[in-house]
Chains A and B, each alone.
Chain A
């Protein structure tokens, strides 16, 4: 029922792990529904230089997590934000219809991590400019 690419990303997931000093962290899903994805991103000059994930979920949830990290690594924030559940599923050569919600999980989680980064980053920027103006 799964494509070869899904099985490859499930058996050999890319970018599994955590980033201790991540610039942004996203977490979506809940254990009750059977899937949770957590993404860590590292951003330099608006480019996602590193990304890691951890996922509790079915084969499709793990595969979509893995491919979505590949899709955004090395991309600018704006490019990464263009990720959709459709593009995730397409990159895996398709998903069974009942598993399409797993690709939503990946899209939502990437976007949550970027939002987290922007919030923190914006705060730092505001703080820095406030400091500068005092100086």
Chain B
């Protein structure tokens, strides 16, 4: 292979040329402030409205329900902290899961430090949340349920519709972080009883640094940053117009032909999964075998560490990611892998390969050719390998 095989689409994607093309005039030619009254302002206001319409359409929402933010992280913060503080008089209890993205988890932890109570629901071995657990966790003072649509590490897709129905029945707000899901599975906020939904542009071939929060009409939401009256007084600050234009276009493209794209992705993913599981012993697939994002695969290779694996793959021209402590910048491996019951040492040896539209069968076959050799080389260096050879694989 003379080029780099990019298998880290869950981290970010390239901006599609047609998306960039729509963005470019808003840097140099059409640069008015959408809040201005004059013609410059009116022109950018039009672009802002179009992006809002496109985003709303992708979710079956109303344009007035879309709030543009600086990305998924800000949207999660706004959804969780904004609704919790606005509904404080109703109660102070929040339900979330133990496998949320740090943007949601840390927002909940921040609220805990400020007098809120948070229930972190467990998941099963596949990373699935049991809707019954959500139901049983609801108390009189519960004001918000925040459960991600699909997990960023292991790709498991949650029973969002069931959770939405429970939330509606109990009169509790339901937020879902759909950053990984938008463009991969349909997200109909009306049909699924979703009150708040987080999305991001750069996971779906849009630019980085822009995202959106859908907040159903009537949901009380406090500011988390203070200043102007932009975004119907829900998010202060001059709009990042070129990025928002890019988001609108990217989301529009990403939510078209989902099934056709998924079919291709699933075939590649399953070729990769079965190839790795059959050629590398002491390996497991993390996440659900079928209820997972079409482009996601996540493995644990026993006796070796994930960063060493990433460096070795990088030397062979393959870009991937891992949930090992060494790649997270903390001493603990991924909280998601620990939550599905993996012991620390197995969690350290994880590898996430996430596929995108441009990946080919030839690329997958190249990965299947070099990965077993890399794992073998690292295992031969590992003091754990011989000790445990013939031992039981953790499943």
Contact = CB atoms under 8 A, between A and B. Distances in A.
Contacts, number: 64
A56 B307 contact: no
Q: How large is the interface on B (under 10, 10 to 19, 20 to 34, 35 or more residues)?
A: 20 to 34
Contacts of B325: 33-34
B305 A98 contact: no
Contact of A56 (B329, B333, B382): B382
Q: How large is the interface on A (under 10, 10 to 19, 20 to 34, 35 or more residues)?
A: 20 to 34
A35 B305 contact: yes
A134 B369 CA distance: 65
Contact of B307 (A27, A36, A58): A58
B326 A58 contact: yes
Given A34-B333, A36-B383, A55-B383, A10 B308 contact: yes
B384 A31 contact: yes
A59 B311 contact: yes
A58 B325 CA distance: 9
Contacts of B381: 13, 16, 54-56, 62
Interface of B is mostly: helix
A9 to B, nearest CB: 12
A11 interface: yes
B331 interface: yes
A34 B383 contact: no
A62 B311 CA distance: 12
Interface of A is mostly: mixed
Nearest to B315: A11
Contacts of A32: 344-345
Contact of A54 (B306, B308, B348, B383): B383
B380 interface: yes
Contacts of A34: 305, 324-326, 333, 344-345, 348
A10 B381 CA distance: 11
A74 interface: no
A16 B380 contact: yes
Contacts of B308: 10, 57-59, 61-62
A54 B329 CA distance: 24
Contacts of B214: none
Interface of B: 303-308, 311-312, 315, 324-326, 329, 331, 333, 344-345, 348, 380-384
25 contacts: A2-B311, A13-B381, A16-B380, A32-B345, A33-B325, A33-B344, A34-B324, A34-B326, A34-B344, A34-B345, A35-B305, A36-B384, A37-B383, A56-B303, A56-B381, A56-B384, A57-B305, A57-B326, A58-B306, A58-B307, A58-B308, A58-B324, A58-B326, A59-B311, A60-B326
Given A11-B312, A34-B333, A62-B381, 14 more contacts: A11-B315, A16-B381, A27-B383, A32-B344, A32-B345, A34-B305, A34-B324, A34-B325, A34-B344, A34-B348, A54-B383, A56-B381, A57-B326, A58-B306
Interface of A: 2, 7, 10-11, 13, 16, 27, 31-38, 54-62, 98
The 4 closest A-B pairs by CB, nearest first: A31-B345, A58-B307, A58-B326, A54-B383
